[in-house]
Structure 1
Amino acid sequence: MRKTTILMLLACAVQGAAMAAVVGHMSPAEPLTVERIRTLPQAQQAPWFTYLARSRAQMEEDKATLAAERGDQPAPPPPPIGHAGTGMPLRKPAAWYAKPEARRVADTILSFQTPAGGWGKNADRTGPPRARGQNYVGDENWSYVGTIDNDATITELRFLARVQAQQPGAAGDAYRASFVKGVRYLLRAQYPNGGFPQVYPLQGGYHDAVTINDDAMVNVVTLLSEVARRQDDYAFVPANVADAARDAVGRSVNAILMAQVTAGGVLTGWAQQYDELTLAPAGARNFEPIALSSSESAKLLAFLMTIPDPSPEVIRSIRASAAWLERVAVRDVVWTGKSPDKGRMLIPGPGAGPLWSRYYDIATMKPIFGDRDRSIHDDVNEISLERRNGYGWYGTWPQEALARYAAWSRAHP
């Protein structure tokens, strides 16, 4: 019987491969522009025009500050590139953050804070402080100069908060001032509808979209929630900044609820990115199509369950997203490791699972997969080897959130 089952699964896999198809092409997200704002109802336009003007002015100030530092001298080499969070551990014992090693990292962080108040991504903060005239990011392109992508800005702020807690006197004032500046940067970056762009000041392209991808917005809102409580590492935050953070969290929760996708009359999960003006699901990079995302939905579910005294709307959202994640789980298949010849593959695996596809088509709720050429496929085994190996198409991301949901649902019958 087991042999028959395996043969049937293999036959289905072969048949599925034969029927695999390109089911669409990814449309890139649109940037925020004056022309697009003018398509909004008249009563909604003013806050967006103000936001766009402020963003443009801030970018001009950031660039002018760097140019003034350089004068007519050659630019120093860009700083070293690292991975997300390089040199900024957040789980050390509290006493470690009083050591010279931690303070050196904090001083380097201070030196790379942009005039706007944010930080670039993928930086090695164990290196030397920023030299006068040196770029804020690890290349000479004006790209990601202030971003929440890859945990940037949030990690720097959390690290500064930990260090300042061990420097209660004047020695910690610079860290506290930098932290407050960084929080105000996040507050200014927030869109009028409560969402957050990936890059601020706005960079254009898909970076302007409201970015749920890689937990960017969740990381911001989680930090702001902690800042609003003014406890532990954040007890020093001025009351007015904490109040502003609390208001920003409320607007973000409202945006999250508005962005949750209804398909076929049923509330489901969330996409990775959303159009900044309409909150309609949007594409991101060429291989990241408009779709529901299990990973990002799981993170949003986990965040919403942390809200004390949730409203009926939040409770409804939590229950719906958990039910959707349960429905779209995939079983009896295995997502293989990287082999030199075939790369990662989805193959039959009787009894295996659950797994979740990263993306689900909003209309059909079937897994879909993107490639570098913007093509969208219904079979992960049909996309290019480079993309199969280079992206997390299947995973177990929702398991932890669903386990927490089981306990949460008992407390919220």
Structure 2
Amino acid sequence: MTCRTTAIGLALAASLLAAPAFAGVIGTNVPAQPITAERIAQLPAAQQPAWKAYLERSIAQGKADRAALAAELKPGEVAPPPPPTGHGDGGMPLDKDAAWYGSPEARHVADVIVSFQTPAGGWSKNQDRTGAPRLPGQPWASDNNSKHLSEADFDAARDPKWGYVGTLDNNATITEMRFLAKVSRQTPGQDGDVYRQSFLKGVRYLLDAQFPNGGWPQVWPLQGGYHDAITYNDNAVSEAAYLLTEVSEAKPDFAFVPADVRAKAGAAARKGREVIVASQIRVNGKPTIWGQQADPFTLAPVAGRNFEPAALSTGESADLLFYLMQLPDPTPAEVAAVHAGVAWMKRAAIMGWEWTGKGDPDGRHLIEKPGAGPIWSRYYSVDGRPVFGERDKTLRDNANELSRERRDGYSWYGSQPSKIIRLYETGWAKRHPET
């Protein structure tokens, strides 16, 4: 695709680092477009059948999920309240000694995981899996509605009572699957069959949720808005591809997976790798890094929440570069993508400035500090200038002008690319020289 830069045509004034006196509002964030029949009808004819089938599958599965939940209750019976909201990967450690996964404690977590698996095969997010198993008629998802919604908010759910059912956001679904595989390996025979069957259902979920071009959305069945975009946030695409690669290779935790499923998993993982390379943003014909999420059809970067612009995103790009650098068999295109991405990161490094003030009365802010750095802005425009967003959708070129809530509530600067550059310079580049 050659049009990926057009979606980040942000008309920026001078950046903070270049000319603080001219800092201010530089634009307004625009929402990502969902996958619809109307958009599919505008695609080249050869691409339309696969996307039509995909959308139909999503719609049908969404209806099936809702019907299955309703069928669990008798007429007039009141549904139990949603499960309490937890955080991240609550209760599902993946770094314990192998024997622990055969313990009653681990088996309980696995039983809870199985109980919250949706009919589609995925899981929702932000739940503590050490709690009670799901009750009949109880929603699969917690209350995931934002507490900061404004009018026409990008994060507003189409159905407030039905959000993130299921999702790859916040490492959901992937973590549940990996935990189940570890428990099943320590639970041979019939006692472990329930965990193995749940894992296989999860694999089918990943295969069903994958776009025809190899990407994965944040939520499937589709939820609309930016959730329908190819999601690099929280490593959704790379973690799905990595897990499916391990499944295809029959790694010890996944040795029970049938050969035909392993073959499908391997093919899906390869498509995931291909879309990563294809969606690397090009500026003036030269590859740079990636957006936080990409339009499923054009592969152009698109906005996320109100304050997350369609821009080059260093955090997600660092994760993607790390994933590509771990591949044992990178293609020439993947090697070239890494070289280009690291080169861009080096050029974008900010020296002599520090993002500081956590817990201070005035909140976080950027200050000039000799010898500090390197740090990177979370987002950059196509011309390499930092860009920041507010909840009111305004885009700014000065993080210090953001509201206190947004300065303290988001990682506008970070040093994550430093690790990638070190890995690149201390070994990877030597093993994979530029051609």
> Out of 29, 35, 53, which is 1:32 matched to?
35
Farther off after superposition, 83-92 or 12-21: 12-21
Residue 312 of structure 2 is aligned to residue 292 of structure 1: yes
Residue 199 of structure 2 is aligned to residue 179 of structure 1: yes
Contact 1:25 1:376 in 2 (8 A): yes
The aligned counterpart of 2:70 is 67
Q: CA deviation at 1:65?
A: 0.3
Q: Name the SS of the counterpart of 1:24 in structure 2.
A: strand
The aligned counterpart of 2:418 is 399
Q: CA deviation at 1:207?
A: 0.5
Farther off after superposition, 402-411 or 326-335: 402-411
Matches within 5 A, 1:301-316: 301-316=321-336
How far apart, in 1, do the equivalents of 2:279 and 2:17 lie? 38
Contact 2:241 2:270 in 1 (8 A): no
Residues 274-304 of structure 1: per-residue CA shift (max 9 Å, x gap):
1111111111110000110111111111111
Contact 2:238 2:272 in 1 (8 A): no
Structure 2: 5+ residue stretches without partners: 1-14, 144-159
> Out of 240, 243, 258, which is 1:223 matched to?
243
Q: CA deviation at 1:71?
A: 2.8
Aligned residue pairs: how many?
A: 401
Q: Name the SS of the counterpart of 1:334 in structure 2.
A: strand
The aligned counterpart of 2:339 is 319
How far apart, in 1, do the equivalents of 2:169 and 2:189 lie? 33
> Out of 289, 293, 313, which is 1:269 matched to?
289
How far apart, in 2, do the equivalents of 1:14 and 1:314 lie? 33
Residue 333 of structure 2 is aligned to residue 330 of structure 1: no
Matches within 5 A, 1:194-209: 194-209=214-229
Residue 106 of structure 2 is aligned to residue 87 of structure 1: no
The aligned counterpart of 2:139 is 135
Residues 294-347 of structure 1: per-residue CA shift (max 9 Å, x gap):
111111111111222322111111100111111101110111032443110000
How far apart, in 2, do the equivalents of 1:80 and 1:127 lie? 9
Contact 2:16 2:397 in 1 (8 A): no
Residue 144 of structure 2 is aligned to residue 125 of structure 1: no
Q: CA deviation at 1:141?
A: 1.1
CA RMSD of aligned residues (A): 1.4
Contact 2:87 2:126 in 1 (8 A): yes
> Out of 176, 181, 194, which is 1:156 matched to?
176
Mark the CA change 1:14 to 1:277 in structure 2 (over 3 Å): closer, same or farther: closer
Residue 38 of structure 2 is aligned to residue 19 of structure 1: no
The aligned counterpart of 1:102 is 106
Residue 415 of structure 2 is aligned to residue 411 of structure 1: no
Q: CA deviation at 1:245?
A: 0.9
Q: Name the SS of the counterpart of 1:43 in structure 2.
A: coil
Contact 2:364 2:408 in 1 (8 A): yes
Mark the CA change 1:170 to 1:360 in structure 2 (over 3 Å): closer, same or farther: same
> Out of 337, 352, 369, which is 2:372 matched to?
352
How far apart, in 2, do the equivalents of 1:218 and 1:311 lie? 16
Residues 96-141 of structure 1: per-residue CA shift (max 9 Å, x gap):
1110000000000000000000000001101111001100011371
Q: Name the SS of the counterpart of 1:75 in structure 2.
A: coil
How far apart, in 1, do the equivalents of 2:269 and 2:276 lie? 10
- The AA in structure 2 aligned to 1:64 is A
Contact 2:376 2:414 in 1 (8 A): yes
Residue 280 of structure 2 is aligned to residue 260 of structure 1: yes
Contact 2:390 2:402 in 1 (8 A): yes
The aligned counterpart of 2:155 is none
TM-score normalised over the length of structure 2: 0.90
How far apart, in 2, do the equivalents of 1:97 and 1:107 lie? 12
The aligned counterpart of 1:390 is 409
Mark the CA change 1:48 to 1:14 in structure 2 (over 3 Å): closer, same or farther: closer
How far apart, in 1, do the equivalents of 2:254 and 2:424 lie? 28
The aligned counterpart of 1:5 is none
TM-score normalised over the length of structure 1: 0.95
- The AA in structure 1 aligned to 2:430 is R
Residue 173 of structure 2 is aligned to residue 169 of structure 1: no
The aligned counterpart of 1:234 is 254
Structure 1: 5+ residue stretches without partners: 1-11
Contact 2:16 2:23 in 1 (8 A): no
Q: Name the SS of the counterpart of 2:326 in structure 1.
A: coil
Q: CA deviation at 1:168?
A: 1.7
How far apart, in 2, do the equivalents of 1:257 and 1:242 lie? 23
Mark the CA change 1:20 to 1:240 in structure 2 (over 3 Å): closer, same or farther: same
How far apart, in 1, do the equivalents of 2:105 and 2:431 lie? 44
Residue 278 of structure 2 is aligned to residue 278 of structure 1: no
- The AA in structure 2 aligned to 1:25 is T
The aligned counterpart of 2:52 is 49
Contact 2:233 2:316 in 1 (8 A): yes
- The AA in structure 2 aligned to 1:329 is A
Contact 1:13 1:347 in 2 (8 A): no
- The AA in structure 2 aligned to 1:366 is R
How far apart, in 1, do the equivalents of 2:233 and 2:309 lie? 12
How far apart, in 1, do the equivalents of 2:381 and 2:16 lie? 20
> Out of 363, 388, 391, which is 1:372 matched to?
391
Mark the CA change 1:322 to 1:14 in structure 2 (over 3 Å): closer, same or farther: closer
Q: Name the SS of the counterpart of 1:282 in structure 2.
A: coil
How far apart, in 2, do the equivalents of 1:372 and 1:183 lie? 36
- The AA in structure 2 aligned to 1:109 is I
How far apart, in 2, do the equivalents of 1:280 and 1:16 lie? 29
